Amino acid sequence: MNGNLKNKQQLRRRRAIAASFNYPLLISLVLAFDYIGYSALSTNQLIFMLVSATLISAVLAWFFITEKNLEYDDPSMTGFQMVVCSLWGVGPLIFMPEIRPLLLMLYFPAFTFGILRFDRVQYFKLFIFIFCLYSIILIAEVFWLRPELLLAYELLLYIFFFIVLAWFSYFGALISELRRNLKRQNITDELTQQYNRRHALSTLKYIHHFCERYNETYALVIIDLDYFKQVNDQYGHFVGDEVLVDFATAINQTLRSVDILVLPPETKFGDKAKKDNLIKEPLFARFGGEEFILILPRLTANEAKQCIARLQEVVREMKFAGDAQLSITFSAGLSVFSGEQDPLELLKAADRALYQAKENGKDCFVLAAVSAI
């Protein structure tokens, strides 16, 4: 695992450890109230809480230590951890109704765990889940378990809890949205609105790790517009910018329509891992100036060559920069991961192949010798 992925995985492990502290914290609180005689806790109830908390923490630790978490769409497993924690919290809520208001307060620290991960829909789903869960507890207690409970008090607590929880969910989703917007700006090229160089290199390492781990392949393409300097010199940089925007948009739209690049949703990665969008789809990014990079997961050399040929055909038939109606072409260098090269070697090989394509007269592509067809 490369350094960037290793650091992310370590961060996920630390977050999981921090989340696991909620269990001993809650147990300690329950024991403290039991010790001072404010609430009674039976031996069986205490054993249930201790064993279940230990089991949950052990299972989560195993997932992160063995890197099984990387096989899921959300490798941080945030949603799963919050649902499990909510379910586990049902026990103390039922066992100790005397301190229920205090126990309910611990839901809010648990909700902060999703602030940097959840969107509005995810927060809404979690809110509905807890709403249904607590409603079932309340109905069961009032009508079966503890009919002597003061209904007015329980309803007031119920209403107040969910008003605060709804408010908390709204602002948690708002913070998550702001974070995603900042992240989107950080990984997007300002001119073309495609991914930028930083994100492309980060994604390359990510895809390389998975392909290396599960014995898969991917293609790496470096694209350079032909005679772009002449466009800037003759028509000006504003027209040159229009060409870059139009070109990037055309390539991105074409990639979405090329069947060979769209993997079916049920496709497994190495028969084990679920792939997120970075694995399912190609990534196209501006690498700098008039140079772009294209990463094609799970494509062989022949498939990648077909893809590039199709892109070149589309670009030849188009007119760019609005009223200027310019015709442009591009050259490309291609390298394919065969299980031995590292990302830097593939980048250098694709760059050398691009230089060769330029030498061959432009408007063509060259497959790097390092790649095996």
The pTM of this model reads: 0.65
Give me the long-range contacts of 319-322 (CB less than 8 A, separation at least 24). 320/242, 320/243, 320/246, 320/247, 321/235, 321/239, 321/242, 321/243, 321/246, 322/242
Tokens of 95: 């066992």
Instruction: Provide, rounded to the nearest whole percent, the portion of the chain with pLDDT above 70.
Output: 90
* Measured distance CA(30)–CA(40) in Å, rounded: 9
Task: Give the Cβ contact number of residue 270 at 10 Å.
Answer: 13
What pLDDT, on the 0 to 100 scale, is given for residue 247?
94
* Confidence band for 284, pLDDT divided at 50, 70 and 90: very high
Average pLDDT over residues 260-286: 52
CA distances for 342 relative to 209, 285, 346, angstroms:
10, 20, 6
DSSP codes joined into one string, 289-358: TTEEEEEEET--HHHHHHHHHHHHHHHHT--BSGGG-B---EEEEEEE--SS--HHHHHHHHHHHHHHHH
* Confidence band for 2, pLDDT divided at 50, 70 and 90: low
pLDDT digits (tens, 9 = 90+) for 25-83: 888 887 887 778 776 678 888 888 889 989 999 998 898 888 888 777 788 888 888 88
In sign, the C-alpha dihedral spanning 81, 87, 88, 89 is: positive
* Confidence band for 104, pLDDT divided at 50, 70 and 90: confident
State the CATH architecture for 197-367: 2-Layer Sandwich (3.30)
What pLDDT, on the 0 to 100 scale, is given for residue 3?
57
Average pLDDT over residues 254-273: 48
Instruction: Provide, rounded to the nearest whole percent, the portion of the chain with pLDDT above 90.
Output: 28
Average pLDDT over residues 132-139: 87
* Measured distance CA(191)–CA(163) in Å, rounded: 43
Residue 121 C-alpha from the chain's centroid? 15
With a cut of 50, say whether residue 260 has pLDDT above it: no
* Confidence band for 98, pLDDT divided at 50, 70 and 90: confident
Query: For residues 137 and 41, which has the higher predicted lDDT (pLDDT)?
Result: 137
What pLDDT, on the 0 to 100 scale, is given for residue 309?
92
What pLDDT, on the 0 to 100 scale, is given for residue 277?
38
What pLDDT, on the 0 to 100 scale, is given for residue 266?
40
What pLDDT, on the 0 to 100 scale, is given for residue 145?
76
Residue-level length of the chain: 373
With a cut of 60, say whether residue 271 has pLDDT above it: no
DSSP codes joined into one string, 251-302: HHHHHHH-GGG---TT--BTTTBPP-HHHHS-EEEEEETTEEEEEEET--HH
* Measured distance CA(70)–CA(273) in Å, rounded: 7
CA distances for 34 relative to 21, 37, 158, 219, angstroms:
20, 5, 24, 62
**Segments making up each domain of the chain, as ranges:** 3-185, 197-367
Query: For residues 143 and 319, which has the higher predicted lDDT (pLDDT)?
Result: 319
Helices 78-88 + 3-20 axis angle, to 10? 10
pLDDT digits (tens, 9 = 90+) for 169-207: 888 888 888 888 888 888 999 999 999 999 999 889 888
Distinct helix (H) and strand (E) counts, the chain:
15, 5
With a cut of 60, say whether residue 267 has pLDDT above it: no
331-368: b (≥16 Cβ within 10 Å) or e:
bbbbbbbeeebebeebbebbbbbbebbbeeeebbbbbb
In sign, the C-alpha dihedral spanning 29, 35, 39, 43 is: positive
* Confidence band for 370, pLDDT divided at 50, 70 and 90: low
What pLDDT, on the 0 to 100 scale, is given for residue 280?
58
* Confidence band for 119, pLDDT divided at 50, 70 and 90: confident
With a cut of 60, say whether residue 276 has pLDDT above it: no
Q: pLDDT averaged over the chain?
A: 83
If we measure between CA atoms, which residue out of 255, 302, 301, 306 comes closest to residue 281?
A: 255
With a cut of 80, say whether residue 165 has pLDDT above it: yes
User: Residue 254 in contact with residue 265, Cβ under 8 Å?
Assistant: no
Q: Which residues contact 282 (CB under 8 A, 6 or more apart)?
A: 255, 261, 294, 295, 296, 297
If we measure between CA atoms, which residue out of 6, 65, 73, 135 comes closest to residue 280?
A: 73
